[in-house]
Amino acid sequence: MLVEMVEDCNMGKKIQDSKNVPFQREIPSAVLLIAVVLMNLLLYLYLDHFYMPVHHSGVDPSLCPFGYFRLGEMKNCSPWLSCEALKTEVRKLKLVGEGAVKKVFLSEWRERKVAVSQLTGPEVKEDFLHGADMLKSLQSQYVITLLGYCEEQFTILTEYHPLGSLRNLEKTLDLAKYQSLNTWHHRFMLAIDYVSIIHYLHNSPLGTLVMCDSSDLNKVLSQYLLTSDFHVVANDLDALPQVNRSSGKLVKCGHRELRGEFVAPEQLWPFGEEVPFEDDLMPPYDEKTDIWKIPDVSDFLLGHVEGSDIVRFHLFDIHVACKRRTPGERPSARVVLDTYQKILISLKETVMPGTREML
């Protein structure tokens, strides 16, 4: 994807370079001015056309205004379904997933497969509504497409992704149908997608958001879905508290003690075994907890195929930086993403088809 963008940039430059060449001297300056304006307009339209994100086979929700969605080959944006439409137009087919907050049903709407999520119990109402609000506000290529919701019924309608969550990745890639995608290249692209989502959440329209539903690897993986065209989208946005550096606002992921190597060190109880955990005494932290977890998630996504270890070798330094114990010394998601993309480009250059043996 990045390489394509680089190529597009060059194309843009070529157009700009040739902009003034055919017009010189013999043409009056007013005509020249109009020509330049027209050229710029054309250039704009051209770039606008080609710069459309090609993520998710054109199902980029950002192409619809707020409150609307477009699915698959749908021509027009449709307004989010209301309580009434959800009741009459959507048919639940079967339970496909269940977490602490939501039961997820494969369902049908106008001959399309969709996902209905419903509250599991009243004690998690707050999380459910927070998740729904986040889904509404964060519609973009990084987040699952919202199709409708009914707050009174605690129901959300989203796009259905048959490949399920990233937890299923190995199983999916083992299927004959997806064998051809089980390469370091495709798997590294998933890692880049993942870091792109973290970057988006850390720089979202709602400010810096921390992906708190992430106390172990499987938990993280279950928050993201694999789309049929092999991209990643964030699905579960129930626990996304905001950090605000300028007002000094930090977060805590839940009220209970976190343990283990997976969570960032600042998420662990700092006062030792002798002092019993007390939420009020637990110091808050920032979005760098997400950066700490990137190496583990990427490691899983890269898996063990030909070339995975070459990618790991190139990621070594940035991953060491992600694992710095002092949160402030860890790189931002932007830096991690840029580094990943540079490594992808350099690997694509050195590992072109004919030279694959070099791996």
Ligand X SMILES: *[C@@H]1O[C@H](CO)[C@@H](O)[C@H](O)[C@H]1NC(C)=O
Ligand Y SMILES: Nc1ncnc2c1ncn2[C@@H]1O[C@H](COP(=O)(O)OP(=O)(O)OP(=O)(O)O)[C@@H](O)[C@H]1O
Binding site for ligand Y (CB under 6 A): 96-97, 99-102, 104, 115, 117, 144, 158-161, 164-165, 213, 222-223, 225, 235-236, 238
User: Are the CB atoms for 213 and 238 separated by under 8 Å?
Assistant: yes
Token reading at 65: 């205004």
Q: Is residue 326 close enough to count as binding ligand X by CB under 6 A?
A: no
The interface partner of residue 235, options being ligand X, ligand Y, none and the CB cut-off 5 to 8 Å by kind, is: ligand Y
User: Are the CB atoms for 301 and 169 separated by under 8 Å?
Assistant: yes
For the bound state, the minimum distance from the C-beta of residue 124 to ligand Y, rounded and expressed in Å, comes to 8
The number of residues making up the chain comes to 359
| Residue whose CB is less far from ligand Y, 135 or 343 | 135
For the bound state, the minimum distance from the C-beta of residue 287 to ligand Y, rounded and expressed in Å, comes to 19
Helix (H) or strand (E) segment spanning residue 190:
helix 184-202
For the bound state, the minimum distance from the C-beta of residue 128 to ligand X, rounded and expressed in Å, comes to 22
Burial class (CB in 10 A: 0-12, 13-18, 19+), 23: middle
Q: State which of residues 88, 180, 246, 326 lies at the interface with ligand X (CB under 6 A).
A: 246
Stretch of 41-49, 118-126, 242-250, 347-355 lying at the interface with ligand X (CB under 6 A): 242-250
Token reading at 253: 């992921």
Q: Is residue 180 close enough to count as binding ligand X by CB under 6 A?
A: no
Q: State which of residues 16, 62, 244, 350 lies at the interface with ligand X (CB under 6 A).
A: 244
DSSP state of 193: H
The interface partner of residue 165, options being ligand Y, ligand X, none and the CB cut-off 5 to 8 Å by kind, is: ligand Y
CA atoms within a 13 Å half-sphere pointing along the CA-CB vector of 208 = 19
* Separation of alpha carbons 325 and 331, rounded Å: 12
Q: What does the binding site for ligand X look like in residue numbers (CB under 6 A)?
A: 207, 244, 246-247
